[in-house]
Amino acid sequence: MMTQPVGIAIHPATWADDRAALMAVRRAVFIKEQGVSEDEEWDEHDACCEHLLATTTKRDAVGTARLHPSGRVGRVAVLKSFRGLGIGHALMLEIILLASTRGLPQLVLHAQLQALEFYRRLDFEVCGEEFLEAGIAHVEMVKRLK
CA-based nearest residue to 89, from 11, 6, 8, 4? 4
The pLDDT tens digits for 93-124 are: 999 999 999 999 999 999 999 999 999 999 99
Where in the sequence is the domain holding 51, given as residue range(s)? 8-105
Q: What average pLDDT does range 128-146 have in this prediction?
A: 93
- pLDDT at position 2 is 52
Contacts of 133 (CB under 8 A, 6+ apart): 110
Is 49 a domain residue? yes
Cα 126 to Cα 5, 39, 69, 103, 144, distances in angstroms: 27, 27, 21, 22, 12
Residue 35 lies in a domain: yes
Q: DSSP state, 117?
A: H
Under 8 Å between Cβ of 64 and 75: yes
- The mean pLDDT value of the chain amounts to 94
Asked whether residue 53 is domain-assigned, the answer is yes
Residue 26 lies in a domain: yes
pLDDT band at 1 (very low <50, low <70, confident <90, very high): very low
What percentage of the chain reaches a pLDDT higher than 70?
97
What b-and-e string marks burial along 19-39, b requiring 16 or more CB atoms within 10 Å of the CB?
Answer: eebbbebbbbbbbeeeebeee
Which residue, among 31, 45, 34, has the nearest Cα to 74 in the 3D structure? 45
pLDDT of residue 50 exceeding 90, the answer is yes
> Is residue 62 a part of any domain in this protein?
yes
At 56 the pLDDT is 95
In a domain, 72, yes or no: yes
Share of the chain above pLDDT 90, in %: 92
Would 76 be classed as within a structural domain?
yes
Q: Are 65 and 75 in contact (CB under 8 A)?
A: yes
Number of domains making up the chain: 1
The Cα–Cα gap between 111 and 51 comes to 18
In a domain, 87, yes or no: yes
pLDDT digits (tens, 9 = 90+) for 51-65: 999 999 999 999 999
Residue 92, domain CATH: 3.40.630.30
